[in-house]
Amino acid sequence: MQHVDGNALAGPFADFFSFDVTTATARCNGCGSVGELARAMVYRSGAGTVVRCSTCDHVLATLVETGDRAWISLSGVSAIEVRRG
């Protein structure tokens, strides 16, 4: 399955976070690298969205949505830095 990059997270995550996730930087639990979520690899399918570290392929986050509920996991991220303007 072909991936896109983290720019594609802007829409799906905008309903849940009050900041733009693509410019937020995240630290990967797998390898410790830090980078903007826009640089992550994103796999989208009917089942949901999987976000992987572009350095080590570790799963950073997952998002599954149904009509009236959503499940978000950030289990692969140890910290997120958000810039407040």
Partner 1 sequence: MSEVSTPGATATPAASAALRAVPRSGWHVATVAAARRETPNASRLELEVDGWPGNAAGQHLDVRLTAPDGYTATRSYSIASSGPGTRVTLAVDKLPDGEVSPYLVDEVRAGDMLEVHGPLGAFFVWAPVAETGDARPVQLIAGGSGVVPLFAMAQAHGDADDPVPFRLLYSARTPDDVYFAGELQRLVGASAPFRLDLVYTRRAPEGWRAPAARITRETLEAAVFPAAEQPRVYVCGSTGFVERVADWLVELGHDPRSIRTERYGGT
**Site residues (CB under 8 A) for partner 1?**
2-8, 10-11, 14, 20, 22-23, 25, 27, 34-36, 38-39, 67, 79, 81, 83, 85
Q: Which lies closer to partner 1 via its Cβ, residue 20 or residue 59?
A: 20
Are 35 and 23 in contact by the 8 Å Cβ rule? The answer is: no
- Counting Cβ atoms within 10 Å, is residue 43 exposed (0-12), middle (13-18) or buried (19+)? middle
Structure-block tokens of residue 38: 């826009």
Q: How far is the CB of 78 from partner 1 (least distance, A)?
A: 9
Q: Which lies closer to partner 1 via its Cβ, residue 27 or residue 58?
A: 27
